[in-house]
Amino acid sequence: MSNPPSFHLSENNNNNNINNDNHSVHSPDSTAVTNDKDHLPNVVQSYTNKSFRHDDDHIYINDIPINKKEFTLAFGGAFEVGPREKTRELIEYANPVPAGLGAFSASAISLGLVQMHAREVHMANSLLGAFLTTSGLVEIIVGVLCFVIGNTWACCTFLMFGGFWSSYAFVLMNVGGIAESYSNENEYAQSIAIFFLPWALFSFCLWICTFKSTVALTVLMFLIWLFVLLFTIAQFASSVLVFKAGGFFAILAGVIGFYNMLAGLVDKSNAYFTIRPLPLPNQYDPAKEA
């Protein structure tokens, strides 16, 4: 990303003059722009009037254009919770997030249907392979790749949920005779609830990190937190109705996850439409850090 134009400020008696490329403006709030088509516009603006806007190709901080290819905004399709300058790796490597979103969403929908007893199915044993590989292994790989491109929040999210799905699969597989080690079914159910409880807290922490991102991303994390929380309550209370409610929100989370995945995949080269992110109020403004 090229450096912004330099600012020159000089004082003469009681008048402040701003000079840039031999153009003089006698108001500190005025803007001077060169007409050289071979260079980006040289913009001079008072630091007291910061502005931030963007179009299809550029982001403008104080009317200084920055190519979007060198900058990333909050976007569910890339699991970006706020704008930041792209690293060299982020420019060179593909976006791994859609794969992680697809893996999570597929398992969430399937688990939700089982919890709602769809087609009279009550056991999730058929999903063990998906929990171990699709949601477990794939999300861990995506988390590592997010580490490479410098996306801390996405890295933490995918690595942890990759571990969540894998560990839940081991519980369902009864590895090491987990179920038999408890004296009765109620004790076993309470232990599962204790397993879910910290994941509900973790999901809540992830959710509050999206309050300045986009509507689609914060809705996704809210639904994830809600369905994990309902699973926890259902295990503590041994309530089938709460289990079904959790399954319903798991399905919704999967659908919104697929929406965010699609947003990260479609562009003008492969589809006739693109998905524009809808920012939340008070979204982080890079101009304040300029």
Q: Is a pLDDT exceeding 80 seen at residue 276?
A: yes
Q: Is a pLDDT exceeding 60 seen at residue 262?
A: yes
Q: Is a pLDDT exceeding 80 seen at residue 53?
A: no
- What mean pLDDT, rounded, does the chain reach? 80
Q: For the ranges 42-56, 110-124, 227-241, which has the lowest average pLDDT?
A: 42-56
Q: Is a pLDDT exceeding 90 seen at residue 199?
A: yes
Q: Is a pLDDT exceeding 50 seen at residue 27?
A: no
Give domain limits for the chain: 9-71, 76-84+90-265
Beta carbons within 10 angstroms of residue 152's beta carbon: 12
Band the pLDDT of 94: cuts 50, 70, 90: confident
User: 149 Cβ partners below 8 Å, 6+ apart?
Assistant: 87, 89, 90, 93, 96
Query: Would you mind telling me the total number of residues written for the chain in this entry?
Result: 290
Report the DSSP pairing between strands 23-25 and 15-20. Answer: antiparallel
User: Is 183:110 a contact under the CB 8 Å cutoff?
Assistant: no
- Going by C-alpha positions, the residue among 203, 202, 221 that lies closest to residue 212 is 221
Residue 277 DSSP one-character state: -
CA 198-128-246 angle, 5° bins: 45
Rounded to whole angstroms, the Cα distance separating 248 from 207 reads: 19
Average pLDDT over residues 193-199: 98
**In this predicted structure, what is the pLDDT of residue 35?**
46
User: 39 Cβ partners below 8 Å, 6+ apart?
Assistant: none
**In this predicted structure, what is the pLDDT of residue 58?**
67
Band the pLDDT of 43: cuts 50, 70, 90: very low
Q: Could you read off the pLDDT of 145-167 as tens digits, one per residue?
A: 999 988 899 999 999 999 999 99
Average pLDDT over residues 55-66: 67
**In this predicted structure, what is the pLDDT of residue 150?**
86
Rounded to whole angstroms, the Cα distance separating 158 from 145 reads: 10
Average pLDDT over residues 270-283: 87
Q: Could you read off the pLDDT of 236-245 as tens digits, one per residue?
A: 999 999 999 9
Q: Who wins on pLDDT, 59 or 2?
A: 59
